[in-house]
């Protein structure tokens, strides 16, 4: 009777909580992590992938001798024994010992056979090319979340969706296979295919690195672009970092300077002024300007040329990079018209490249300009740009006058190669007429042939370009005479350009002219590019 | 009496059948469990091999990467670069006649099991 009554009570009163306890003892729920997508270059070479490594955890309540366990684990894993012991003394049932250890370390810990130690598989992001293209690819955190570069920008595509499984477990808390009663499999992340060519990236980085070291620069950037599609073939910065060992590098090295840093472009910007005056028809290439023998007073300010010149045709003004000649040509143009061209060339707004952290630079509206602004802006002062904006601007001249949106991702695809999202090249708007672009290409060819950019010459390929040497601004607001931003922007071959290159050096020393510091990098990278793409050299320009 | 004996037999047979069925069921469950464990173990071995393979592939990719190659070659004072035209020797591709002859020589059976071109390189699009 008593037993019956007890059973009746249990069944009626305590059935629910008891069955809850029972189900928590034998039921198990586990997450199934998806595989993070791969990042490929344009030739489907892997730039970022994932491997599985073991992470080690402990149940401190199961450990018999915590002191010796901590000591032996610390020795094998090269971690702090005291910190580990402190963790083990907490009244928790789960403590991380080390995450994502190497297979050798895993084996060494297994050999210790410490009770309470267990292993769990975790994906580890790896970058087989180490520093190559690290600013583009970016990196992930310990939980596989994208923190920089493409890893961050395309995290939602790469990450995938976590799956889960309800199953039952045995007395030893092992999941019983074949008894899963509900399972949603994980959806693996999609792959991202970039427009980068890892070979081009490799030699661009090599030459940039050499120049960065030789010129004792604070920073350096290079962009290689297809002027017709806007495809970025290479984009590199110095200093750089290895995303496999991210903790060993300072935040400074991780900055993608080509899009995150802005600077005054200096004479490189004269391509915009020249485009504006030629397109508006206020100046012709043969028009002559008196360059005041290197000293020109305008509104209580004296401007200088780096070399004194007398009368120069406009094409020679650009060829010899005369500030005074450029200013005088800009004076013929109203402020608003120059501003309109600056905006059309894409300055003062983001290029929209598929990378995080891009800055737009600073271009003030003409109503905020002083009397000196027209002259200063015409020669690349009083405004700031980033390296990629310069690449887009020079592309406009190379492709016949169109602004092309730069792109670094060509498509997102699933594991079977099916396209999930495609990023088509985008021709945005016409900036200057074809005729003006053609005239400017010839003028810029003169810069390399006989002007400030002679060191950019590549025999048989006739490159064209523009040098720039901009004084940096000191903290007190004055222009520095010791710190410069040097640049060379150009394309080749000048008549039918295939590639655009932008090389920037931040504070090179002791030499600092763009033609001395950056043009040789252009020359080397451009030469390698031509050989890589098997473009036949020509005997003469015509 | 006979009726009772028959009833008893019936009960015994039923119990026996039920017990047998229950035993069979338990045995089946145990077998399923054992097989599940075996599958799990095999799967673990398989995934371990796959993971190991992935690590080795990563190591190969790492060794093949331009950065790593350059480091090694620079240590030997060898610099990598694109070859000039005069440094490249172009070999004529094999004539079609020669290629078709070799296939014919393989015989009928060989040709049945010969996998033709698996992939074809496509030129880069610019």
Q: What is the ipTM of this complex?
A: 0.76
Q: What is the DSSP string of A46-74?
A: EEEEEEEEEEEEE-GGG-S-HHHHHHHHH
B67–A131 C-beta distance less than 8 A: yes
pLDDT per position as a tens digit, A450-486: 889 999 999 889 999 999 999 998 888 888 888 999 9
Q: Examine the domain organization and report whether A73 and A180 are in the same domain.
A: yes
Q: Examine the domain organization and report whether A175 and A52 are in the same domain.
A: yes
CB B46 within 8 A of CB A94: no
Q: Is residue A130 part of a domain?
A: yes
Report pLDDT for A183: 82
Q: Examine the domain organization and report whether A137 and A206 are in the same domain.
A: no
Per the structure, the count of domains in chain B is: 1
> For chain B, which residues lie within 8 Å of any Cβ of chain A, measuring from their own Cβ?
32-33, 35-37, 39-40, 47, 51-52, 54-55, 58, 61-62, 64-68, 70, 80-85, 124, 126
Give the minimum alpha-carbon distance from A177 to chain B in angstroms, rounded to a whole number. Answer: 5
Q: Is residue B118 part of a domain?
A: no
Q: What is the 3-state secondary structure (H, E, C) of chain B?
A: CHHHHHHHHHHHHHHHHHHHHHHHHHHHHHHHHHHHHHHHHHHHHHHHHHHHHHHHHHHHHHHHCHHHHHHHHHHCCCCCCCCCHHHCCCCCCCCHHHHHHHHHHCHHHHHHHCCCCCCCCCCCCC
Q: Point out which residues pair with A124 in neighbouring strands.
A: A51
CB A151 within 8 A of CB A357: no
Q: Examine the domain organization and report whether A205 and A105 are in the same domain.
A: no
- Domain with B100 in it: 2-113
Report pLDDT for A346: 93
Q: Which of A426-435, B102-111, B114-123 is most confident?
A: A426-435
Report pLDDT for B6: 81
pLDDT per position as a tens digit, A416-452: 889 999 999 998 899 999 999 999 999 999 999 988 9
pLDDT for B95 beyond 70:
no
Q: Assign A536 a pLDDT band (cuts: 50, 70, 90).
A: confident
Q: Give the residue-averaged pLDDT of A71-77.
A: 89
Q: What is the DSSP string of A143-172?
A: TS-B-SHHHHHTHHHHH-B-EEEEEEB-TT
Q: Examine the domain organization and report whether A205 and A182 are in the same domain.
A: no
pLDDT for B123 beyond 80:
no
pLDDT for A259 beyond 80:
yes
Chain A neighbors of B58, CB-CB under 8 A: 49, 51, 126, 128
Q: Is residue B126 part of a domain?
A: no
Report pLDDT for A4: 86
CB A234 within 8 A of CB A529: no
Q: Is residue A516 part of a domain?
A: yes
Q: Is residue B122 part of a domain?
A: no
Q: Is residue A2 part of a domain?
A: no
Chain A neighbors of B83, CB-CB under 8 A: 531
Other Cβ atoms closer than 10 A to A72? 16
pTM comes to 0.83
Q: Examine the domain organization and report whether A133 and A239 are in the same domain.
A: no
Q: Is residue A542 part of a domain?
A: no
CA distances from A15 to A1, A18, A434 (A): 20, 5, 84
Chain A neighbors of B72, CB-CB under 8 A: none
Q: Assign A353 a pLDDT band (cuts: 50, 70, 90).
A: very high
User: Measured between CB atoms, which of B51, B70, B124 is closest to A52?
Assistant: B51
Mutate to test the interface with A, among B46, B59, B65, B84 (most CBs of A within 10 A): B65
Report pLDDT for B101: 47
Beta pairing, strands A117-126 & A191-194: unpaired
Q: Is residue A79 part of a domain?
A: yes
Q: Examine the domain organization and report whether A168 and A221 are in the same domain.
A: no
The share of chain B scoring above pLDDT 90, in percent, equals 22
Report pLDDT for A307: 85
Give the minimum alpha-carbon distance from B114 to chain A in angstroms, rounded to a whole number. Answer: 25
Report pLDDT for B117: 43
Q: Give the residue-averaged pLDDT of A321-336.
A: 90
A51–B58 C-beta distance less than 8 A: yes
Q: Assign B118 a pLDDT band (cuts: 50, 70, 90).
A: very low
Chain A neighbors of B64, CB-CB under 8 A: 128
Report pLDDT for B102: 46
B39–A178 C-beta distance less than 8 A: yes
Q: In chain B, which residue's Cα lies nearest the Cα of A178?
A: B36
Q: Is residue A135 part of a domain?
A: yes
Per the structure, the count of domains in chain A is: 2
pLDDT for A69 beyond 70:
yes
Q: Examine the domain organization and report whether A166 and A274 are in the same domain.
A: no
Q: Is residue A1 part of a domain?
A: no
Q: Which residues contact B86 (CB under 8 A, 6 or more apart)?
A: none
Q: Assign A542 a pLDDT band (cuts: 50, 70, 90).
A: low
Q: Euclidean distance between the first and final Cα of chain A, in Å?
A: 113
Q: In chain B, which residue's Cα lies nearest the Cα of A103?
A: B52
What's the CATH number where A431 sits?
A: 3.40.710.10
CA dist A391 and A399 (Å) reads 12
What's the CATH number where A96 sits?
A: 3.90.1310.10
Tally C-beta pairs within 8 A across A and B. Answer: 77
Tell me phi and psi for residue B49, to 5 degrees.
-65, -40
User: Measured between CB atoms, which of A49, A132, A178 is closest to B65?
Assistant: A132
pLDDT per position as a tens digit, B70-94: 888 878 877 767 777 667 676 766 5
Q: Examine the domain organization and report whether A387 and A519 are in the same domain.
A: yes
Report pLDDT for B28: 92
pLDDT per position as a tens digit, A191-231: 999 999 999 999 999 999 999 999 999 999 999 999 999 99
pLDDT for A325 beyond 50:
yes
CA dist A504 and A267 (Å) reads 12
pLDDT per position as a tens digit, A75-132: 888 888 888 888 888 778 888 989 888 888 888 999 988 888 888 888 889 999 989 9
- Domain with A118 in it: 28-194
Give the HSE-up count for residue A389: Cα atoms under 13 Å, Cβ half-sphere.
31
Other Cβ atoms closer than 10 A to B88? 10
Structure-block tokens of residue A120 = 């769990």
Q: Examine the domain organization and report whether A299 and A375 are in the same domain.
A: yes
Chain B neighbors of A498, CB-CB under 8 A: 126
Q: Give the residue-averaged pLDDT of A274-287.
A: 91
Closest by CA to A158, choosing from A46, A36, A35, is A36
Structure-block tokens of residue B59 = 């190591």
CB A479 within 8 A of CB A188: no
Q: Examine the domain organization and report whether A66 and A186 are in the same domain.
A: yes
A532–B82 C-beta distance less than 8 A: yes
Alpha helices (runs of H) in A98-143, residue ranges in sequence order: 103-112, 134-137
pLDDT per position as a tens digit, A381-424: 999 999 999 999 999 999 999 999 999 999 999 988 899 999 99
Q: Give the residue-averaged pLDDT of A341-369.
A: 92
Q: Which residues of A are catalytic?
A: 267
Q: Examine the domain organization and report whether A352 and A495 are in the same domain.
A: yes
Q: What is the rounded average pLDDT for all residues in chain A?
A: 90
A42–B55 C-beta distance less than 8 A: no
Report pLDDT for B120: 42
pLDDT per position as a tens digit, B27-83: 998 898 888 888 888 988 998 899 889 989 999 988 888 888 888 887 887 776 777
A229–B126 C-beta distance less than 8 A: yes
């Amino acid at each position: 009777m008593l037993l019956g009554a007890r059973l009746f009570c249990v069944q009626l009163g305590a059935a629910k909580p008891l069955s809850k306890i029972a189900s928590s003892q034998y039921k198990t729920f586990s997450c199934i992590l998806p595989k993070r997508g791969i990042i490929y270059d344009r030739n489907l070479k892997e730039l970022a992938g994932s491997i599985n490594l073991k992470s080690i955890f402990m149940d401190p309540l199961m450990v018999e001798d915590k002191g010796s366990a901590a000591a032996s684990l610390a020795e094998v894993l090269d971690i702090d024994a005291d910190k580990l012991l402190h963790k083990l003394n907490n009244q928790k049932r789960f403590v991380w010992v080390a995450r994502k250890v190497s297979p050798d370390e895993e084996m060494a810990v297994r050999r210790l056979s410490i009770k309470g130690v267990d292993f769990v598989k975790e994906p580890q992001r790896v970058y087989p090319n180490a520093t190559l293209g690290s600013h583009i690819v970016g990196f992930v955190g310990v939980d596989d979340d994208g923190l920089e570069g493409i890893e961050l920008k395309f995290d939602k595509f790469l990450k995938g969706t976590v799956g889960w499984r309800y199953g039952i477990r045995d007395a030893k808390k092992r999941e019983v296979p074949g008894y899963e009663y509900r399972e949603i499999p994980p959806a693996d992340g999609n792959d991202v295919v970039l427009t980068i060519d890892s070979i081009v990236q490799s030699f661009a980085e090599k030459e940039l690195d050499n120049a960065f070291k030789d010129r004792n620069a604070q920073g350096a950037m290079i962009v290689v672009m297809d002027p017709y599609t806007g495809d970025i073939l290479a984009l590199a910065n110095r200093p750089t970092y290895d995303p496999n060992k991210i903790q060993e590098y300072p935040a400074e090295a991780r900055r993608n300077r080509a899009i995150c840093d802005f600077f005054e472009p200096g004479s490189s910007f004269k391509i915009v002024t020249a485009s504006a005056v030629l397109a508006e028809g206020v100046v012709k290439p043969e028009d002559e300007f008196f360059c005041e023998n290197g000293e020109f007073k305008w509104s209580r300010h004296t401007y200088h040329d780096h070399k004194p010149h007398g009368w120069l045709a406009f094409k020679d003004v650009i060829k010899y990079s005369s500030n005074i000649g450029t200013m005088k040509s800009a004076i013929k143009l109203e402020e608003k018209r120059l501003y309109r061209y600056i905006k059309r060339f894409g300055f003062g707004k983001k290029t929209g490249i598929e990378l995080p952290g891009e800055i737009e630079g600073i271009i003030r509206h003409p109503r905020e300009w002083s009397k000196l602004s027209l002259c200063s802006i015409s020669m690349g002062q009083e405004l700031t740009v980033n390296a990629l904006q310069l690449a887009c601007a020079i592309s406009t001249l190379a492709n016949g006058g169109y602004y092309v949106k730069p792109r670094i991702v060509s498509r997102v695809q699933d594991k079977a190669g099916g396209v999930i999202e495609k990023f088509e090249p985008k021709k945005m708007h016409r900036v200057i007429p074809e005729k003006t672009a053609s005239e400017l290409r010839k003028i810029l060819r003169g810069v390399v042939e006989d002007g400030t950019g002679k060191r950019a010459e590549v025999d048989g390929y006739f490159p064209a370009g523009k040098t720039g040497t901009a004084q940096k601004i000191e903290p007190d607001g004055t222009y520095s005479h010791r710190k410069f931003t040097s640049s060379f922007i150009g394309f080749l071959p000048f008549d039918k350009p295939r590639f655009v290159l932008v090389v920037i050096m931040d504070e090179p020393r002791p030499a600092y002219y763009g033609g001395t510091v950056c043009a040789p990098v252009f020359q080397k990278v451009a030469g390698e590019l031509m050989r890589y793409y098997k473009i036949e050299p020509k005997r003469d320009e015509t | 009496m006979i009726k009772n004996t028959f009833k008893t037999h019936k009960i015994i047979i039923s119990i026996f059948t039920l017990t047998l069925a229950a035993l069979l069921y338990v045995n089946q469950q145990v077998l399923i469990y054992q097989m599940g464990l075996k599958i799990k173990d095999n799967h673990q071995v398989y995934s371990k091999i796959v993971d190991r393979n992935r690590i080795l592939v990563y190591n190969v990719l790492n060794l093949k990467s331009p950065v790593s190659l350059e480091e090694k070659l620079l240590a030997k004072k060898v610099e990598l670069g694109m070859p000039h035209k005069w440094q490249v020797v172009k070999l004529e591709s094999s004539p079609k006649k020669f290629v078709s002859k070799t296939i014919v020589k393989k015989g009928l059976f060989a040709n049945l099991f010969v996998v033709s071109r698996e992939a074809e390189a496509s030129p880069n699009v610019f």
